[in-house]
Structure 1
């Protein structure tokens, strides 16, 4: 058990010592923490889709925010639940051991290397060991109803590629509520998933005829673009934590270089 100090905030954790050292040193996703600082304050509401062991949720709770999280990975869920119990925040976070999906159906959750390593995903990727388990989920457009809140100050989504198959199906919900969303994007996971949908023979031939995976990348780019276009009505877009930009400019970039985008509706 140790106390983690981030800027002027403190919280207690156990296990994963090297990760918490990295976070405390400021080398873990400083842009993400800046977004939390800029958008959360005491009594504001934060929704964390893809909690993992709790870095963003615990930090948000230490700011006095009311936090709701979703984490379908049983190992990660056990760890974040233990971390929450070690603290006495103004609002102790509420974490559901569920996935968030487009339609609320049961899903198969695939591990990256092993459960709890932060790489679990709705996508089966060819480079993963792909242990799998069946998990329940809630539909994205039922989140506010599920947490019994009418609006949120910030919604963070970091689900290792699942975002590409949730957000485009929820355009109406996003247009209705215009939530501020911090979205992590996983273009390479999407490419792996698309490659994995091919048969072994197709992958073999593809490696010979198209070793650069141009066709797969073009399909991935199209899916990526459709995901970003969900936010075409948003007029405040910040790329990777510090570059204020436009959606038109983002669509011109190399998608492999994009880590996260903050979408804010003025």
Structure 2
């Protein structure tokens, strides 16, 4: 097998080595210009540090986890997409503080992963959407993931293309003292596609489910802004209820207290 080519790219203040593949070059230009998810990198810049373990659930081709490896003590990447896993594995030798878990966040031992626009795109989902290829992948529960991460403080980013609605109860495990913060991407348009019935009913389901996700945690406090929207009410009304197609957003939750440095015994660290 021919070795995958790599190249260096600078974005949001860090130079990162990524896979040099033609299908991503247009995206890389957007990334280098700072136009891709600036709020995500702002949150990572604010909340990562040399004492923080970063968990990236839905690591895609490594754009956020490898960038974060420059700022965090340790990085855990959860990625089930077979093409993305190949890309990530080719880069891992360059990032000694990054660990890849080749699985999907799920309480199930095995789930079906669907490629909406082919594997390797950013839209692979465990939701029953699209008519592309599919593959069975291993599941990893949040409890197991937190045990692997070990002592806090932890910062977690979740971007799983609509599956966040299905496993909301699983996400509740993050409402824990060692978790410093969570950035949760919500995809109401994808969730709406999985619903049945009249259009107004499906929109209402997506609206209610997003509201519940925004109020998911007790220890972790939702920030005033939701993505580019000044408040949750504005997002729910303008971004979902009144929008022709519901718009996605990132919801940032932060611990109201100082995260515990160690809330699990050291022997729970992976490999021990």
Report the TM range for the smaller structure's normalisation: 0.7 to 0.9
**1:130-149 per-position Cα deviation (integer Å, ceiling 9, x unaligned):** 311111111122211133x1
Q: Does 1:227 align with 2:217?
A: no
CA separation of 1:260/1:64 partners in 2, compared to 1, >3 Å: closer, same or farther?
Answer: closer
CA contact (8 A) 2:214 2:251 kept: no
**How many angstroms apart in 1 are the aligned matches of 2:158 and 2:75?**
14
User: Does 1:259 find its partner at 2:259?
Assistant: no
Q: Which segment is superposed worse, 214-223 or 179-188?
A: 214-223
1:174 partnered with 2:174: yes
Which residue does the alignment assign to 2:68? 60
Does structure 1 residue 108 correspond to structure 2 residue 98? no
Q: Alignment partner of 1:217: what SS? A: helix
SS of match in other structure, 2:164: helix
Kindly indicate whether residue 64 of structure 2 is the aligned counterpart of residue 74 of structure 1: no
Structure-to-structure mapping, 1:1-266, within 5 angstroms: 1-14=6-19, 15=21, 16-85=24-93, 87=94, 89=95, 91-101=96-106, 103-125=107-129, 128-147=130-149, 149-171=150-172, 173-177=173-177, 179=179, 180-195=181-196, 210=198, 213-241=199-227, 245=231, 254-255=239-240, 256-266=246-256
Shift of 1:109: 0.4
Change (3 A) 1:5 1:116: same
Count of equivalent residues: 242
User: Hey, what's the Cα distance between the residues in 1 that align with 2:18 and 2:170?
Assistant: 36
221 and 58 in structure 1: CA distance in 2 versus 1, 3 angstrom threshold: same
TM-score w.r.t. the length of structure 2 is: 0.80
The answer on whether the counterparts of 2:7 and 2:17 sit within 8 Å (CA) in structure 1 is yes
- Structure 1 residue 161: deviation in Å? 0.3
Give 1:218 deviation, angstroms. Answer: 1.4
CA contact (8 A) 1:53 1:79 kept: yes
In structure 1, the partner of 2:264 is none
Distance 1:75 1:121 in 2: 14
Q: Tell me: CA distance 1:143–1:263, structure 2 relative to 1, closer, same or farther (3 Å).
A: same
Using the alignment, how far apart are the partners of 2:76 and 2:17 within structure 1? 18
Structure 1 segments of 4 or more deviating over 6 A? Answer: none
Gaps of 5+ in 1: 196-205
Q: Distance in 1 between matches of 2:239 and 2:12?
A: 33
| 1:124 positional shift | 1.2
Q: Distance in 2 between matches of 1:262 and 1:31?
A: 10
Identify the range of structure 1 (255-264 vs 233-242) with the bigger mean alpha-carbon deviation: 233-242
